[in-house]
Amino acid sequence: MTLLAVLRATLAKDLRLEWRSKDAINAMLFFSLLVVVIFSFAFEPTAEESRRIAGGLVWVAFLFAASVVLNQTWARELHNHVLDAYRVSPAPANSLFLAKAFGNFMFMIVLEALMTPLFIAFYRLRAVGPAWELLPIAILGTWALVVNGTFFAAISLRTRSREVMLPLLLFPISVPALLGMVNATTAVLTGEESSRFWITLLVAYDVVFTIACLLLFETILEAE
Amino acid sequence: MPEPHPNSDAPPTVITNGVIKQFGRFAALRGVTAEFAAGRLYVILGDNGAGKTTLLRTIAGLAQPTRGSISVLGAKEIKTVCSQIGYMAHPSLLYDEMSGMENLRYFAELYGIHDDAANSTCREAITSVKLDPELNRPVGQYSQGMRQRMSLARALLNDPKLLLLDEPFSNVDFHSAQEMAGLLAQMRDHEKTLLVVTHQPGLLESVADEFIWMNSGKIVDRTSKLRAGSQ
């Protein structure tokens, strides 16, 4: 049995379940929408100010939205103890982890695609720097959030207050990635400096944490 | 005593040696030493909290013994033989939002059964528990008894040599439970080893090879006949 076959089956199953319930995507959308609207009314920034603060606003909104989907993705496996059926099977642990991470990545990318036009409209955003760089920043930043988030959501799975536990574990460890995302986005929007250093930081962060999560996930899955 | 089974010379399917399982200070299993021979049907009995479910979970590899050792199908590392174990728990282990067939197709993939083979295997498993493979309703809308039977079908998917069943008859009507008991007897006749935890031992009285009595985390008795009044 290959890692890829189980990964594909698990990812397809998760997408099917989300398509039927739309629990995670709806919760993320409403949450992000609220952040956009509330902050735009609270600050009423000029175009210049918007370029300076938008990077932080966008990524903080996505970080909080991510914690919604991350909890949701594992909650499904707890209901009816379905995770035990996976644990007693010969399927590789990392197939489950990667399927969850890819699923969360896809949900986040959909959310970002839907929210970006709203951010642009509400904050009158226009990139002064090379706008194409926002694409790799979005991909690397989103993966940084979901790879750790999926892992820490699995750790907090069996704790009583997992909704509280996940942000407590995830947010501190995401600080370097968040710095990278925010500064890279701000650099592109303002055009005042190069985003290269921050993009490199994101690449390094993604590689290190993806490998660490893959190495440790089986231990987490088998923990009682 | 039951008739000597044709496979009685085969090595035991499961050997537990002084297995202790503690949850914090509470010991759910207190030194369980037992052998379960191949091709036999064992019924595990005992009051709530006797350690029956913990014993099954430990044999399935879902819980690690705090002390002692377990050998399943000749392997100390249960993960290496898990493709030959079928496990049915008290919860259904099924996704409520998917149909029975969709559930089984997914779990078949976990056992490396793909495409047409998966289709026919899933149909066979669903039909064997007297459910309709074409039933398109989500499992969450099944009756408790149907869910229980679908859960048994999931455990049978990989054609396991060892079947661990926790309360397979709970919430199942008498007629269906009798049919399920007949199916379990057939599986035993096909050289599979079955460990069945149940509070309805009467359903398996005529087909079980041995009744194992547990109390406070220990095996206290093994009998070939059901004691009077224990049904």
| pLDDT tops 50 at residue B4 | no
Higher pLDDT, B226 or A69: A69
Nearest to A88 among B85, B95, B112 (CB): B85
- Give the per-residue pLDDT at B16: 96
Q: Report, as an integer, the average pLDDT of A125-130.
A: 87
Quote ipTM for the complex: 0.90
DSSP string for chain A: --HHHHHHHHHHHHHHHHHHH-HHHHHHHHHHHHHHHHHHHHH---HHHHHHHHHHHHHHHHHHHHHHHHHHHHHHHHGGGHHHHHHTSS--HHHHHHHHHHHHHHHHHHHHHHHHHHHHHHHT---SS-GGGHHHHHHHHHHHHHHHHHHHHHHGGGSTTHHHHHHHHHHHHTHHHHHHHHHHHHHHHH-SS-SHHHHHHHHHHHHHHHHHHHHHHHHHHH--
pLDDT band at residue A145 under the 50/70/90 scheme? very high
pLDDT digits (tens, 9 = 90+) for A74-111: 888 999 999 999 999 999 999 999 999 999 999 999 99
The overall average pLDDT reported for chain B is 90
* B 177-216 → A contacts, CB under 8 A: none
How much is the pLDDT for A1?
55
Residue A133 has pLDDT above 50, yes or no: yes
Does the pLDDT value for residue B17 go beyond 70? yes
Sign for the CA dihedral angle at A150, A156, A158, A162 comes to negative
Q: Is the pLDDT of residue B221 over 70?
A: yes
Confidence (pTM): 0.90
- Of residues A6, A17, A80, nearest to B91 (C-beta): A80
Q: Searching chain A, which residue's CA lies closest to the CA of residue B97?
A: A17
Closest approach of chain A CAs to the CA of B67, in angstroms? 15
User: Could you give the C-alpha distances from B97 to B93, B114, B194, in angstroms and in order?
Assistant: 12, 22, 30
Percent of chain A residues past pLDDT 90, beyond the cut: 57
Whether A114 contacts A29, CB under 8 Å: yes
Task: Report the distance separating Cα B216 and Cα A133, nearest Å.
Answer: 65
pLDDT digits (tens, 9 = 90+) for B154-191: 999 999 999 999 999 988 888 888 888 999 999 999 98
Question: What is the residue range of B153's domain?
Answer: 14-223
Domain CATH for B180:
3.40.50.300
Question: A86: distance to nearest CA of chain B, Å?
Answer: 7
Name every residue whose Cβ is closer than 8 Å to that of residue B170 and which is 6 or more positions away in sequence: B90, B144, B148, B199, B200
**CA–CA min distance B94, chain A (Å):** 6
Examine residue B138 and state whether it is found in any structural domain, yes or no: yes
Tell me what pLDDT residue A24 has.
86
State how far residue B33 is from chain A, nearest Cα, in angstroms. 23
Mean pLDDT of chain A: 90
When scoring A15, A23, A88 by the number of chain B Cβ atoms within 10 A, the one with the most, hence best to mutate, is A88
- Please check whether residue A5 touches B, CB under 8 A: yes
CB B42 within 8 A of CB B208: yes
Residues on chain B touching A13 (C-beta within 8 angstroms): 95, 98, 106
Torsion sign (Cα): B91, B95, B100, B105: negative
- The answer to whether residue A17 neighbours chain B at the CB level (below 8 Å) is yes
pLDDT confidence of residue B176:
85
Query: Is A51 near chain B, with CB under 8 Å?
Result: no
% of chain A residues with pLDDT over 70: 100
Q: How close are the terminal C-alpha atoms of chain B, in Å? A: 19
Chain A residues 65-104 within an 8 A CB cutoff of chain B? 76, 79-82, 84-91
Q: pLDDT, tens digit, for every residue of B59-75? A: 999 999 999 999 999 99
- Chain A nearest C-alpha distance from B128 (Å): 20
When pLDDT is cut at 50, 70 and 90, the band that residue B28 belongs to is very high
Lowest-confidence pick of A120-124, A168-172, A196-200: A120-124
Minimum-distance CB partner of A80 among B62, B94, B110: B94
Distance CA A179, CA A209 (A): 16
- Relative to beta strand B210-215, strand B218-223 is antiparallel
Q: Which B positions 122-161 lie with beta carbon below 8 A of chain A? A: 154, 158
Count of CB contacts below 8 A, A vs B? Answer: 75
In the predicted structure, residue A162 carries a pLDDT above the cut 70: yes
Q: Which residues lie across from B223 on neighbouring strands?
A: B211
State whether residue B102 sits within 8 Å of chain A by CB: yes
- Judged by a CB distance cut-off of 8 A, whether residue B229 touches chain A is no
Whether residues B97 and A21 touch (CB distance < 8 A) is answered with yes
Nearest-CB residue to B154 (from A20, A85, A224): A85
Contact A185, A54 (CB under 8 A): yes
Q: Is A81 left (phi over 0), alpha (psi -120 to 50) or beta?
A: left
Q: For chain B, what is the domain count?
A: 1
CA distance B6 to B188: 12
What percentage of chain B carries pLDDT values higher than 70? 94
Residue B124 binned pLDDT confidence (cut-offs 50, 70, 90) = very high
Is the residue at B127 inside a domain?
A: yes
* B96 contacts chain A (CB < 8 A): yes
Token pair for residue A59?
């990524």
Q: Do B95 and A82 touch (CB under 8 A)?
A: yes
Report the distance separating Cα B227 and Cα B231, nearest Å. Answer: 8
Considering only the beta carbons, identify the residue of A6, A84, A88 that sits closest to B109: A6
- Please say whether the beta carbons of B83 and A90 come within 8 A: yes
Instruction: State yes or no: pLDDT of A132 exceeds 50.
Output: yes
| Residue B164 and residue B156 in contact, taking contact as beta carbons nearer than 8 Å | no
Q: Do B102 and A16 touch (CB under 8 A)?
A: yes
Q: Check CB contact under 8 Å for B83 and A90.
A: yes
The answer to whether residue B6 sits within a structural domain is no
Alpha carbon distance B170, B92 (integer Å): 11
Question: Which of A4, A87, A89 to mutate to probe the B interface, most B CBs <10 Å?
Answer: A89
Burial code (b: 16+ CB inside 10 Å, e: under 16) for B81-93 equals bbbbbbbbbebbb
Q: Which one-letter amino acid corresponds to residue A100?
A: K
